[in-house]
Structures are given as structure tokens and as C-alpha cells.
């Protein structure tokens, strides 16, 4: 049942921020985490919206995230910048390093940001969108929890390993994609299980590695990568570049670190690569953003949707009309706001 | 009919090199182009093997490639290095810039190579494998010819836009993938047409944008990206990063430059990003290559195939036993070797 009065994105951000501050999260981090959660809700990205508040609180309660961690930047002056999240949330670490990453990308043409040792639960589009606002193209990726079998394999090894890309546009929202390299998110299978509905073929294998349409069997088996062996290759690349290469957890280790459970949010590193189109195009004499527009306009002219279009439409609506939460969602926010971590015990 | 005597990879390289030298290609470029063609044949990658010789000669005959172009490197000392192919083949340009790219990636952690204004016909695995030999991870991508509709679209706009990744391994061939972001290569549809067989659903749309299983209708329509909207997003990223961002042709312009025909090879730019795992991992205290091995070994232990495995097996066989060409293939090499470009007129 929807509530009578919608809430503005800023008001929602303030409420979520209060919840995290009361749970012992340092103010700058509470603000950063609340910002991505409120943005998810604003963009009608429910799976990254206030639904995530409880998960974050549970990890705090379990002692698996350092709520007071202060991100520390390590800059050797090269094109690779590092930020140690110190076991804290990834978001304040990214925010702290973003200006230096943008500066270095403009100076060098290309630069990378390594985020170390962070609790990572947020969508990657938030980061690549921020860099697009800085006029930069970017790639972002991270491992997650081992829940996906490689194509041709039979057991969880890869994570849902998101892969995101952002490209700046003039006078329009940036071109942004951000997707799991599994066929679907794990939550989709869970929804089918609750509804007692079979899952489509090609989503998962059972614990013996056989194709299955039974959501129960899929959840105790493994999900499959999107796009067959090509998607599997991209997922493996994500493990190598944002796990092995950084010397941070891969998806299998992330599960082990959390004591074998995937009910808490994963801890690992992340990789962001930023590129300055103006630097890359300079010698050509062409305007890279205008060139990009020719392509993106032509895609739209075919009636094809650009990724994130629905999200941007939801955002425009939320900014104009506010966000409508259900009574249950509002009641949960109230409970967290007044009771803090104690509300988890109910 | 197979020939009685197999030919060694080196002997094949020498023959192809002679063909290009006689066709007016400068010696260094003839060697570079012959090397990738002989490597394709050696790896039983027939679509990038000696089959390509005729295509290269046709572009020379059409005056759409500069056979005597000398690659010129532009280095401003940043993490982006450029090489102007000067309208020549991409391969000598990559070879010329590779040492500087590797040096810069080691010094900066990450570096990019822009290849400008080149005729590009070769598989990308050749470049990422070379960088893996240098101990570097790398990404490589380029546009091609507009022949693929965006997901949800109806007309050719994107190219088959290959995307490749390489990762060094110790005591093993590198982890390498290199694939078209279309469901299949255009040649696959052509083979179905010649055989009078329908193509599977999901490969292509007809000229009105309707799904089709008729290869003829598909060839006059558009191919589709792999993996639905996710593959389409990656293909769009390839156009933006290796077309628009470099100020070089996108796939649509590549067709226009060749006078609207796709019977010649495409001319455009290419982007290679090189990353030094040792630099990225240094502060973690972990060995990134050893970490990568844990993942790659685990994939193999599930009975799943790594990309390029078949190619490496074919290579081992060719290096041991030589390459067996058909009589027709050998006859064509003879013809090109003795008659040069005049052989095309037959």
C-alpha cells in the first residue's frame, strides 16, 4: 500500500544518513553510503535502494565492516592511484579518491583507481556517472560472491561480477551501462522460488552441474554467465583484473571471508579506469563527444533503448514528484531510525 | 584435397611475406602482416589465416591502403601513446609501438596505445598475446563495418566490433579471449547461404528489422549483438572508445570511406590498454599471477574450457607437424607469388 505523501530524494537521503550515523558509521561515510542508496531508490533501482539498508546494518552488526574506517589515499604520482577503504564501505573510499583520479586522467589521458579492502554493495553506475560528470569515460568492475559457474562448468566459482561503463554527453544524461555478467541477478531466482515458478532454461545448473529450471535446485547449484562462453570470458576477466591483479579477494575468497555465507554483503576490492576523451582525440581534430552523439542519436532513431534510459526517466519523475514508498518501507525506516541495530533482532 | 607435404609455420610466413613484398608493401610491413596471417593459419584460425591474403591484395589494388606507409609514433610522455599508421596496415604500427607501450605500462601501471588511420583486418589476440609475453594484461578493441543492429534496433549501425583480453600466465599459454560482439561472424551467415541452410533464430534481422532465419534476408538486413542488450551495450562501448574517443572512424564511416562496400577490409583506428599486474598488486603483498592461476586452474578443474585452448592445441600441433594446406590453397599461394596483384584479375 503506497503512503499518502511522497518523500523527496534529499529527505530520503537525510533519513538514511541518520540511520547509518546512529549505527556508528562515521559521518562522511554515512553520507556517502546514504547517497548511493537514496540514488538507487530515486532511480527506481529497487535492488540498490533502501532495501540495502538492512543488509548494511547486518554487516555492521556482524562486525564484518569497519564503520569508522577512514579511507587512505596512496599516490605514487603514477597513473595508478590507490585508496585503502580499511575494511569500510567502498563508497566513501571512491568519493575520497575521485578528484585525484579525475585530475590524473586529465593529465595522463588514462588513469586507474584501485579500491582496496572494502565492503562493496552498491551499483557501479553511481561511480561511472560521477566520472561522466567530470567529463571522463570510465570502466568499473569488481568481483562479488562465488555463485556463477564458468560456461561449461558445474559449480560456483565466479561472482555475478558487475561490469560498468560511462561516457559523457552534452545536454543529456551520460551513456551508462552497468550489468551483472550472470544471466540474471541472484534475487531473480529467489523471487521465482518464492512465487513457486520455474526459472527459464539457461539461467542455472543444479549442484551436479545439470541444467535446471527448478529455482531451489538453482540456488543450491550455480547461476550461469550471460551470453554463453563470451559472457563467461568477460566474468573471468573481471575476476582477474579486479581480484587477482589487485591482490584483493576473488569471489571465492569473498565467500570464505564471510564464513561461507552469502547472507552478508561481500568484501573485496574494485577497479575503476578513467579515460579523458579530449586527450585521446586531441590530435585527430575531431570532437569525441560530438562523434559519440552521432552514434547514440542513431541508436535512438532506430527505436532502440539506450541502457539506463528507464533509470533516468524514473529519476526525472522522482525529482519532480518525490519518491513514493510503501507503508512497510516507511515503517522499516522508522524502526531503524529509532532503534538502530537493535531493530535487526526482530 | 590435402597436399602431400605439410609446410612449417616459418616457411609459410616467408611465402606470405614474399607475396606482400612483391605487391609493393614495404619489407617491415610485409613481415608484420605475414606474421599475423601465418599465425592465424598455424592456430587453425582459418578466418584469419591465408584466406586473408587475397583480401589484403584487393585493398592494395583498390588503392585503399598505403603499402609503403611508415608508422610514426607520437609520445608526449603521458600514459597515452599514439602511432599513426598513415593509412597502412595496423600490424606494423602495433609492432612499432609495442616496446614503448610496454615500457610506459610498467612505469605508470597503466598505459594506452592509440593506433590511427589503419587498415585493420587481423585478429586482436595477436596483440594481447604479445603483451602477455611482456608480462602485461591488456584489453584491445576496434570498430569494423556497420553490419550489426543495436538490440531493439533494425538496421546496421555497429560493427562486429571485436573485444579482446590477455592475461599472462607462468609456464602456460596466456589467458586470452578475442571475440566479435555480434552473435556470429558475418562469414557464418554467408556459409549458411551457400549451403542453402536457414540460420538459427536470434542471429539477424531482415531489412525491415524483423527476426529472420533466411541467410539471404539476414545479409541484406543486420546481424544482432551477442547476449542481447548486454552485448549490444559492449559493442556500443567499443564504438565509443575506439571510434569516437580516438577521433577515428566509427563502423558506419568505415563503410562510407570504402565507397559503401564491405567487400574490402575496413579502415579505422584501434585502442589497446596495457596494465602491469605487478604494479597493481605491489602494495597487497600477493603475487597477481599466482592468484590468477588459482582461478584459471579451478575453471579447468570443472572441465570447462578456457578461451583459446583449441587455438593453442592447434599451434602445438602445427609447430610439431607443420601446417597442412589444401591443393587449392597452395595453388593460390603459387599464383600470388608469381603473378602478384595481376592474379586478382582472374
pLDDT reported for residue B3: 54
> What residues 201-220 of chain B have any CB closer than 8 A to a CB of chain A?
209
* Helix runs in chain B, H state only: 9-22, 27-42, 51-61, 90-108, 125-133, 186-195, 215-219, 228-239, 251-257, 277-281, 288-301, 309-321, 327-339
Q: In what order do the strands lie in the sheet with B211-212?
A: B211-212, B204-205, B222-223
Q: Given CB atoms, is A295 within the 8 Å cutoff of chain B? A: yes
What's residue A5's pLDDT?
78
pLDDT confidence tier of residue B345, bands split at 50, 70 and 90: low
Is B247 an 8 Å CB contact of chain A?
Answer: yes
In chain A, alpha helices (H): 9-22, 27-42, 51-61, 90-108, 125-133, 186-195, 215-219, 228-239, 251-257, 277-281, 288-301, 309-321, 327-339
Q: Is A61 on the interface with B (CB under 8 A)?
A: no
In Å, how far is A73's CA from the nearest CA of chain B?
12
Q: Give backbone dihedrals phi and psi of B195, rounded to 5 degrees, phi first.
A: -85, -5
CB-based contact, B165 to chain A, within 8 Å: yes
Cell numbers 609455420 correspond to B9
Chain B contact set for A83 (CB, 8 A): none
Q: Determine the distance in angstroms separating the CA of B324 from the nearest CA of chain A, rounded to an integer.
A: 29
Measured between CB atoms, which of A247, A294, A307 is closest to B285?
A247
Bigger pLDDT: A191 or B245?
A: B245
Chain B residues whose CB is inside 8 A of the A226 CB are 227-228, 230
Which 8-state DSSP code applies to residue A203?
S
B303 contact A CB<8A? yes
**pLDDT tens digit sequence for B63-104:** 999 999 999 999 999 999 999 999 999 999 999 999 999 999
Q: SS3 for A138?
A: strand
Question: How deeply is A262 buried, as exposed, middle or buried, from its count of CB atoms within 10 A (0-12, 13-18, 19+)?
Answer: middle
Residue B7 · residue B322 · CB < 8 Å: yes
Minimal C-alpha gap between B57 and chain A (Å) = 28
CATH 1.10.1530.10 fits A1-61+313-346, yes or no: yes
Question: Residues near B69 by Cβ (< 8 Å), separated by ≥ 6?
Answer: B26, B29, B85, B86, B87, B88, B89
Contacts by residues A15-24 (CB-CB < 8 Å, ≥ 24 positions apart): A15/A333, A15/A337, A16/A50, A16/A53, A16/A333, A18/A337, A19/A53, A19/A57, A19/A333, A19/A336, A19/A337, A19/A340, A20/A56, A20/A67, A22/A337, A22/A340, A23/A57, A23/A60, A23/A67, A23/A340, A23/A341, A24/A60, A24/A67, A24/A68
DSSP strand pairing (A80-84 vs A110-119): parallel
- B137: chain A residues, CB-CB within 8 Å: 240-241, 245
CA distance A60 to A294: 47
Tell me the nearest-neighbour CA distance from B62 into chain A, angstroms. Answer: 25
User: Do the bridges between strand A222-223 and strand A204-205 make them parallel or antiparallel, or are there none, so unpaired?
Assistant: antiparallel
| C-alpha cell at position A63 | 562486525
Is ipTM > 0.85 here?
A: yes
What is residue A24's predicted lDDT score, i.e. its pLDDT? 95
- Between B137, B181, B244, which is nearest A295 by CB? B244
The catalytic position among A41, A82, A188, A248 is A188
List chain B domain ranges. 1-61+313-346, 71-183+224-305
A184 Cβ partners below 8 Å, 6+ apart?
A: A203, A223
- Compute the distance between CA of residue A232 and CA of residue B53 in angstroms, rounded to an integer: 33
Q: Which fold has domain B71-183+224-305?
A: Ribosomal Protein S8; Chain: A, domain 1 (3.30.1370)
Sign of the CA dihedral running A201, A203, A209, A214 = negative
Q: What percent of chain B stands above pLDDT 70? A: 98
Query: Measured between CB atoms, does A157 come within 8 Å of chain B?
Result: yes
Is the CB of B5 inside 8 Å of chain A's CB atoms?
no
Interface size between A and B, measured as CB pairs under 8 A: 236
How much is the pLDDT for A4?
A: 59
Q: What angle do CA A174, A144, A205 make, to 5 degrees?
A: 110
Rounded average pLDDT over B11-21: 97
Instruction: Read off the pTM.
Output: 0.96
A47 contacts A90 by C-beta, under 8 angstroms: no
Let me know if A248 is a catalytic residue.
Answer: no
What are A245-266's pLDDT values in tens digits? 999 999 999 988 888 777 788 8
Per-residue pLDDT of chain A (346 residues; tens, 9 = 90+): 455 579 999 999 999 999 999 999 999 999 999 999 999 999 999 888 999 999 999 999 999 999 999 999 999 999 999 999 999 999 999 999 999 999 999 999 999 999 999 999 889 999 999 999 999 999 999 999 999 999 999 999 999 999 999 999 999 999 999 999 999 988 889 889 999 999 999 999 999 999 999 999 999 999 999 999 999 999 999 999 999 999 999 999 998 888 877 778 888 999 999 999 999 999 999 999 999 999 999 999 999 999 999 999 999 999 999 999 999 999 999 999 999 899 886 5
Determine the pLDDT at residue B101.
98
| pLDDT exceeds cutoff 60 at B260 | yes
Mutate to test the interface with B, among A236, A254, A285, A287 (most CBs of B within 10 A): A236
> Are A250 and B107 within 8 A, CB to CB?
no
Taking CA–CA distances from A302, the nearest residue in chain B reads B153
Q: Coil, strand, or helix at residue A213?
A: coil
Nearest residue to A199 via CA among A163, A232, A224: A224
Amino acid at each position: 500500500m503506497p503512503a499518502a505523501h511522497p518523500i523527496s530524494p534529499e529527505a530520503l537521503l537525510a533519513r538514511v544518513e541518520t540511520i547509518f550515523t546512529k549505527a556508528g558509521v562515521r559521518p562522511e561515510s554515512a553520507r556517502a553510503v546514504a547517497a548511493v542508496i537514496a540514488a538507487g531508490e530515486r532511480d527506481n533501482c529497487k535492488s540498490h535502494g533502501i532495501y540495502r539498508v538492512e543488509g548494511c546494518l547486518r554487516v555492521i552488526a556482524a562486525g564484518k565492516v569497519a564503520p569508522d574506517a577512514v579511507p587512505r589515499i596512496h599516490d605514487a604520482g603514477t597513473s595508478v592511484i590507490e585508496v585503502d577503504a580499511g575494511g569500510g564501505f567502498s563508497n566513501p573510499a571512491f568519493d575520497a579518491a575521485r578528484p585525484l583520479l579525475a585530475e590524473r586522467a586529465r593529465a595522463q589521458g588514462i588513469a586507474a583507481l584501485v579500491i582496496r579492502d572494502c565492503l562493496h554493495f552498491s551499483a557501479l553506475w553511481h561511480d561511472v556517472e560521477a566520472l561522466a560528470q567530470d567529463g571522463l569515460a570510465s570502466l568499473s568492475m569488481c568481483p562479488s560472491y562465488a555463485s556463477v559457474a564458468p560456461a561449461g562448468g558445474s559449480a560456483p566459482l565466479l561472482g555475478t561480477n558487475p561490469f560498468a561503463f560511462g561516457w559523457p554527453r552534452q545536454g543529456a544524461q551520460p551513456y551508462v551501462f552497468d550489468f551483472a555478467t550472470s544471466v540474471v541477478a541472484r534475487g531473480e531466482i529467489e523471487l521465482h522460488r518464492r512465487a513457486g515458478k520455474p526459472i527459464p532454461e539457461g539461467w542455472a545448473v543444479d549442484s551436479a552441474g545439470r541444467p535446471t529450471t527448478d529455482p531451489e535446485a538453482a540456488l543450491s547449484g550455480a547461476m550461469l554467465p550471460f551470453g554463453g562462453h563470451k559472457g563467461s570470458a568477460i566474468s573471468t576477466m573481471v575476476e582477474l583484473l579486479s581480484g587477482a591483479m589487485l591482490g584483493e579477494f576473488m569471489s571465492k575468497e569473498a565467500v570464505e571471508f564471510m564464513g561461507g555465507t552469502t547472507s552478508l554483503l561481500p568484501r573485496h576490492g574494485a577497479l575503476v579506469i578513467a579515460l579523458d576523451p579530449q586527450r585521446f582525440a586531441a590530435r585527430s581534430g575531431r570532437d569525441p563527444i560530438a562523434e559519440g552523439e552521432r552514434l547514440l542519436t542513431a541508436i535512438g532513431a532506430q527505436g532502440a533503448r539506450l541502457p539506463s534510459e528507464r533509470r533516468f526517466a524514473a529519476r526525472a519523475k522522482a525529482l519532480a514528484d518525490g519518491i513514493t514508498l510503501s507503508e512497510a518501507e516507511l515503517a522499516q525506516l522508522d524502526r531503524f531510525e529509532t532503534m538502530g541495530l537493535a531493530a535487526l533482532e526482530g
